[in-house]
Structure 1
Amino acid sequence: MSETRKPSVLFVCVHNAGRSQMGAAFLTHLGKGRIEVRSAGSSPARTVNPAVVEAMAEVGIDISTETPKILTTEAAESSDVVITMGCGDACPVFPGKRYLDWKLDDPAGQGVDAVRPIRDEIEHRVRGLLTEIGVEPRA
């Protein structure tokens, strides 16, 4: 990753309504503006999962205005790191990109009690990613 620009990370899941939204929100929050963050889905839902919005609000992160976005070739090409979260073969692969596949339970159709452990695991992994790319996470 270049020293002259922000590193960029793309989170991808099928519906861009749960896991990828949480990943992007945590990275945006903890990265303190030092990382370009995107999220997308191979088959986006109409809205973000309400249980995910509630679970993130519990930790002080408001994603209530976020909307699921379609995964584009441009988003993947312009990202240094692409983190997939269950999008399977629908995720494009480009040479020179770093790919991480985070196997996590899908919060679709789950209540907030089931979403909390997924949220906490995503936060843990995002903190690890920040350390790997040399960005000190927000406390």
Structure 2
Amino acid sequence: MADIPEVLFVCVHNAGRSQLAAALLQHYSLGRIAVRSAGSEPAEKVNPAAAGAAAEWGLDITAEIPTKLSTEDVETADVVITMGCGDTCPIFPGKRYLDWDLDDPAGKGVRAVRPIRDEIDRRVRGLLAELLDT
């Protein structure tokens, strides 16, 4: 792993779960981890309910743009965390892959997204502790 570990969050639309996870890890890591996100079938914009749930914690993901997953994204990451994108994520030897089974916030309101955000937060904090040995 590089001096600064790189984490890639991948979900289908790169509009909800992966955006929340990336924002939380960026917030907590204070620049000690490089964070990116992508999607196998990116949406046109960030899910408004996910953005609302993030805003409740002072995080603004409204300017993020859902991005198409590329082979290079996976190749350069140290840790790849998938969130319901199935087999669309390329596999490279030597990479650490995690699959976080999380509900999809698509079509849900902020109230329904809060528990998803909270679970992502719990997992992100655990990952942060592992990567930084804190």
With the length of structure 1 as denominator, give the TM-score of the two structures. 0.94
Counterpart position of 1:50: 48
Q: CA offset at residue 89 of structure 1? A: 1.1
What is the rounded CA distance, in whole Å, between the counterparts of 2:133 and 2:38 in structure 1?
23
In 2, the alpha carbon distance for the partners of 1:60 and 1:124 equals 17
2:107 counterpart letter in structure 1? G
Matched, 1:130 2:134: no
The gaps in structure 1 that reach 5 residues or longer are none
Deviation at 1:66, TM superposition (A): 0.4
Q: Deviations over 1:1-50 (max 9, x none)?
A: 23xx2100000000000000001000000000111100000000000000
Identity rate, percent: 68
Q: Deviations over 1:103-134 (max 9, x none)?
A: 00000000001000000000100000011112
Measure the CA separation in 2 of the matches of 1:134 and 1:34.
8
Q: Is the Cα–Cα contact under 8 Å of residues 19 and 106 in structure 1 kept in the other structure?
A: yes
Map of 1:15 onto structure 2: 13
Report the equivalent of 2:39. Answer: 41
Name segments (4+ residues, structure 1) moved above 2 Å: none
Separation in structure 1 between the aligned mates of residue 49 and residue 131 of structure 2, nearest angstrom? 30
2:132 alignment partner, SS class:
coil
Local SS of the residue matching 1:45: coil
Instruction: Name 1:81's counterpart in structure 2.
Output: 79
The one-letter code matched in structure 1 to 2:21 is G
The 2-side partners of 1:28 and 1:135 are apart by: 17
**Aligned pair count?**
134
Q: Which amino acid in structure 2 is aligned with residue 52 of structure 1?
A: A
